[in-house]
Structures are given as structure tokens and as C-alpha cells.
Structure 1
Amino acid sequence: MRLAALLICLATPALAQPTADIVILGEVHDNPHAHLGQAAALTALRPTAVVFEMLTAEEAAKADADRTQIASAWEASGWRDFPIYAPIFDALGDARIIGAAAPRDAVRAVYGDGAAALFGPDAPRFGLDQPLPDEQQAARQALQFEAHCQAMPLEMMAGMVDVQRYRDAVFARAALEALNTYGPPVAVIAGNGHARTDWAVPALIALAAPDVTTHATGFVEAASDTPFDDVQIVPPVDREDPCASLTSK
């Protein structure tokens, strides 16, 4: 075990271990404390496979085939800050590395063609062929409006919601395929928005495969009403206001 992995075990509070087929571990992307918590959870869970939001299938296959290529696969993905994600990879053990990042061209095409068309024949299984209930649609557009600093018209957020639904379905499908291939438990590493139990990855897994059990942990910087099965509050990090450049005059 690397020293970093040992420090994870010593520095991170023990988590209650869920007994679920698929465990979704949310995160604040730029918070290293969240990633230490995820790494500790993986060390205890010992999953058969870990599905990553950040890597495409091709990038993950490269990293899985040769663990010395993990950092270069990460760089190719375009995600920054590999050092704060490194503890997660140190904690993988024998777990397979699965990529679930949708290609950028596909994500862009969602705006024109719709999530169901891009997803393919399985779209009804994950509910992509149906509109969201009005209340949920409005709530999700409002969240996207805030996440994008209110810098674009609210009506443009409908496309953002479609993209989020598409990506959630891609992650859920990848987790179910990993479960079918490698057996339980499977872990998913993704942002907290993808881990919420009401409409994100856990909800889509429940829709597509009702017999599959899930457990979602949110690693968050402050208490909120976002629904998870359990919440781990991690120390916040200092960061610049992401909206400053868009809202300053």
C-alpha cells in the first residue's frame, strides 16, 4: 500500500459501508477532501469495477490495461488536477477502470437531436423518451441557471437539462453493464449532481433495473437539502468566485 493510501485510511473518518450492488460516490470536483473521502470509501468497499464520469471508454481502457498510463489518460480527458484525484486511483485495488464520459460531439448533438436520439434504442429504458414532469423540469432549469451564473437566458437551460439527463443515463448504463460483467459491488465516481437520488443516476438505475440496489453518498462542503442516501461534509476549499468574470462590469 502506498503511503498516500495509508494516509487516506488514517485521516478520513470511517464510513458506514452500504450493502448495495452499485455505490455512487459524489464529489465537489475541485475539493481534495472529497476525493480522499471517495478513496477511503473505495478502500473499504473493494469494488469489482469503478465507473468514472471523467474518462471516456477509450481513455479508461488505456488506463485499465496499463496502470502506468492513468495520468496520461487523465490528461487526454481534459480534466485538470490529477494530483487531487490520484488517491482514488491508489485505492482501486484490482477494480477495473470504466469510462462513462460521453464524447463531446455527442453532448453537443443533444442540443439539436435530443437525448433519446443520441442515446439509442435503450432510451425508453432510462426514461429519455419522455418529458420530465413540469415541476421537475422547472426545478432543474433553475439549478442550471444558478450553476451558469445567471449569465444566459433561463429558457436556454432546457438544453442543459437535456444534456444532464443524457449524461446521467450514460453513467447509469455504464454502471449496469459493469455490474453485469464483473458482479457487485460497482462504484461510480461523479459529481454530486449525478449522485442525487431523486432524479440522477440512482433514480435511472432504479427505473432501468428495479432489482438492482444502489447507495449514493454525497461528499459536500455544507449541509443542503439535496437528496442522498448519506452525506459526508468535507472541509471547503478556497476558490475564486466562478461567476466573477461573467457578472463583473
Structure 2
Amino acid sequence: MRYALTLLLFAPTALVAGGVFDGADVVFLGELHDNPAHHARQATYVTELEPTALVFEMLTQEQADLVTRDLVEDEAALEVALGWNDSGWPDFSMYYPIFAAAPDAAYFGAAVPRDVARQAMANGLTTGFRGDPEAFGLTPPLPDDQQVQREALQLAAHCDAMPKEMLPVMVDIQRLRDAELAYSALQAFEAKGGPVVVITGNGHARKDWGAPVYLMAAAPALRIAALGQGEDDVPPSGLFDVVKTAPATDRGDPCAAFR
């Protein structure tokens, strides 16, 4: 069963990014989580798009429900209310301008809580998904070539230190997170109309196998656009409508802890 789109009559968004985002119902703004320039660019796009709603990969729906205009006007209070310092995400000062760019937007969270992730690891990726797994295209297995590619990316992301038997599970969790982002984006659109902006990592924003794939499965009439952000003129992997780069941030040796 497809999810009904009851709000497609909302007026299209203004011209943004040279017209690429013009008329988009949902815009995915990808990032490398620890690059301040990526977040600054996201904040600029949010200001231009004037979204009705913002969806954050970094927030659970419970956290998103806490966001009010008064809180958005107070960076320190918002950080405390969201428990950001205990979340494991990069410094809130990088993300706050995105909130400040849309103080009147509705806020939606798409984070998969740890207990739900553990349950999915034990019982399958559809366990705990808030939507209809079949409608969002979460039930079919990935094509073999994509499965191989995604497992290789997971292994590299964990500095080749992840047991190989865990790689399919990690790919499943990534797919669950993609589907949760799609679910939240659709909930936001059906509640508020467009444009909805999704703040997430590049891997989730890519249109060839990220959250847009699951959103298109559930709501094929939606107009979806995506930004991917790379570093030092190297584009991110995947398919995007707009690709930008910024200077790389200094990360030291991310694999030092695995040695």
C-alpha cells in the first residue's frame, strides 16, 4: 500500500541552488558530520528554502518534540534540552545555525534509538521500523553488487577492524536508518507540506541507495532533491542533484584507536 499524499497542492518552494531545488517537496542536505563548512552551507540553504519542517538524523522524535521557537533562540538552552553533549555528535555550535535558520519550522527526528538498533541486529532490520516496511521497500534484499559495495564501505569505515560476519548486520542498520529518515520526511510533508529539509550524512542523502530511495518507494509523487558535500574538491560517493566541496577538517588518524 502506498502512503497517501494529501498535501501535494502546497505552493512550490522558491528558486534555490540555481533552480535545482526549485519546486522540491523534500530536500536532503548531506554532510560530513565533523566539517563546520558543510554545516554552514546547510544553514545557508535552510535560510533560502524556508522549510516548513526540518528532519534531523541526529534527533529522536522525542528530542525533536522538545524544540520550540523560544528554545531555538537560546543556543545554550537548546543544547541542554536536547542532551547534545551526551549524544556523541560533533559540537553543537556547528549544528546550531541550522536550527536558527528555521525558528518557525516544525522539527522531526529520525534517529534510531540504541535499543531499537540492538533489536534489529538480533531480529532483522524491519524490527522496530515505525513505518510499513513493504511500502518503503525495506523488505527486499539488496542487489548483490550493492551489498558487496556497502559491506566494503562499512569495513573501511571501521578501519578494517570489523569482524566480517558483522558487516551484513551493519549494512542492515544503515538501511534501517535510511528508512527511518524517509519515514520522518514523509510524516513531515504530510503534516506541514513542502519544502521539508532533511539534515543527514552524505551516505543517507545519496539518491542511488540512501533515504531518498525509500521515500520514493513510499511516495513516488514526491519531488526529491539532494545535496552531497565533499572535501578538497573530492566529491562524495553516490548520486546527488548538487555537489559542493569544502576544505577538509583535521581529523588526525581516525584509525589510531584500532591499532
TM-score (norm 2): 0.86
Q: Tell me the alpha carbon deviations over residues 22-72 of structure 1, each in whole angstroms, 9 at most, x when there is no partner.
A: 000000100000000000000000000000000111111112364244211
- Preserved contact between residue 46 and residue 93 of structure 1 (Cα < 8 Å): no
- Preserved contact between residue 130 and residue 183 of structure 2 (Cα < 8 Å): no
Matching residue within 141, 154, 159 for 1:144: 154
1:101 aligns with 2:115: no
Partners of 1:218 and 1:193 lie apart in 2 by: 9
Q: How does 1:43-192 map to 2 (within 5 A)?
A: 43-64=47-68, 66-67=70-71, 68=74, 69-72=77-80, 73=82, 74-75=84-85, 77-119=87-129, 122-192=132-202
Of residues 71-80 and 233-242 in structure 1, the stretch that sits farther from structure 2 once superposed is: 71-80
- Preserved contact between residue 178 and residue 186 of structure 1 (Cα < 8 Å): yes
Give the drift of 1:121: 6.0
Partners of 1:140 and 1:216 lie apart in 2 by: 20
Of residues 180-189 and 230-239 in structure 1, the stretch that sits farther from structure 2 once superposed is: 230-239
Matching residue within 1, 14, 17 for 1:15: 17
Give the drift of 1:120: 5.5
Q: Residue 111 of structure 1: SS of its match in structure 2?
A: helix
- Preserved contact between residue 126 and residue 208 of structure 1 (Cα < 8 Å): yes
C-alpha RMSD of the superposition: 1.6
Unaligned segments of structure 2, at least 5 residues:
1-15
Unaligned segments of structure 1, at least 5 residues:
1-13
Partners of 1:65 and 1:81 lie apart in 2 by: 21
Q: Residue 16 of structure 1: SS of its match in structure 2?
A: helix
More helix by share: 1
Amino acid at match of 1:15: A
TM-score (norm 1): 0.89
Partners of 2:105 and 2:93 lie apart in 1 by: 20
Q: Residue 66 of structure 2: SS of its match in structure 1?
A: helix
Partners of 2:240 and 2:62 lie apart in 1 by: 30
Amino acid at match of 1:229: D
- Preserved contact between residue 56 and residue 77 of structure 1 (Cα < 8 Å): no
Partners of 1:38 and 1:49 lie apart in 2 by: 14
- Preserved contact between residue 229 and residue 236 of structure 2 (Cα < 8 Å): no
Percent identity, aligned pairs only? Answer: 48
- Preserved contact between residue 60 and residue 99 of structure 1 (Cα < 8 Å): yes
Q: How many residues align?
A: 234
Relative to structure 1, the CA distance from residue 91 to residue 121 in structure 2 (aligned partners, 3 Å threshold; closer, same or farther) is closer
Q: Residue 170 of structure 2: SS of its match in structure 1?
A: helix
- Preserved contact between residue 26 and residue 219 of structure 1 (Cα < 8 Å): yes
Give the drift of 1:206: 0.9
Residue 10 of structure 1: aligned partner: none
Q: Residue 126 of structure 1: SS of its match in structure 2?
A: coil
Matching residue within 241, 250, 256 for 1:244: 256
Q: Tell me the alpha carbon deviations over residues 54-103 of structure 1, each in whole angstroms, 9 at most, x when there is no partner.
A: 01111111123642442111335442300111111121131112111111
Q: Residue 221 of structure 2: SS of its match in structure 1?
A: coil
Of residues 81-90 and 185-194 in structure 1, the stretch that sits farther from structure 2 once superposed is: 81-90
- Preserved contact between residue 138 and residue 214 of structure 2 (Cα < 8 Å): no
- Preserved contact between residue 228 and residue 236 of structure 2 (Cα < 8 Å): no
